[in-house]
Amino acid sequence: MSHDLARLRRANSILATSDYGPISPRPDGSHARYQFFFSEDLWTATPLTDSDGNPRYEYLCHCGVDKQIHAPDCTGLTLAAVKFIPIKVDPTLHNVFVLCTWLPPPSEQAWGDLYGSFRYYPSEGRYVPISMNGHTVKLPYPPFDDVARRIAVAIKDYFMNKESREAEFDKMVELREGQKTRDYTPPQNSKFINNRNRLKDAMTLNAHKPGTRGSVSYQTVSGIPILSRPNPLVESQLPSFPDYSAPVAERPLIEVAQ
């Protein structure tokens, strides 16, 4: 047993002095961020509640707890505090060595407002088991030195690559959001493209060449396009508008062909 405890202390010393890159091995300067613990030594306190979920209280004074007969100099019941009971941190773990991480203590004010006293306040913080991919990191025996070193290297690699993974994710989100703001380009076989091509067959618009889709159009002095050889597909679909600004017998001045 003493041999196992010595091996556990060496492994925890390796974890406490390892270089974790972006994170500190001792967040508060005192407690190691990662340590192995025997599962039967991981205990905590939890508030005691009734069947309806309401907290149960105990009454505190300088005589003690739940005293019905007080000392002559006692001023009586002075404080109602939530009652706590000790429990294992993880009741599913039995006789194994668990990798844990240190958590800082909660706010004193929040704790006092919630529970009414500081009897069970974890002023030194607490260690909780680490879960990776839904599985607790545990061993049936105290970790050897090389196991502790490999764990330290794996933790460092994770946090060293975490920034690059987050940057890659942010870039992906930025590109996706940028894609939403771009002009929508419909597929070539879409109804929109087909209708647009039919219109381009029939008339000249902005910088498009007349007859882009195979027709020949003529431009009159008034600037209104006149179809000379329209696409039969759209001939029956597009209305014809006479050029009221030019004589009926006017001949085209400019001929533009593909």
Mean per-residue pLDDT, 94-98: 93
Q: Which residues contact 2 (CB under 8 A, 6 or more apart)?
A: none
Most confident of 17-26, 158-167, 200-209: 17-26
Please report, for the chain, the start and end positions of each structural domain, with discontinuous segments joined by +. 2-42+89-164, 49-82, 191-256
The three-state secondary structure class of 139 is strand
**How many CB atoms sit inside 10 A of residue 99's CB?**
23
H-state helical runs in 106-254: 108-115, 145-181, 191-202, 232-235
From 18-22, 188-192, 211-215, the region with the lowest mean pLDDT: 211-215
Q: How far apart are CA 114 and CA 120, in angstroms?
A: 12
Give per-residue pLDDT as tens, 15-28.
Answer: 999 999 889 999 99
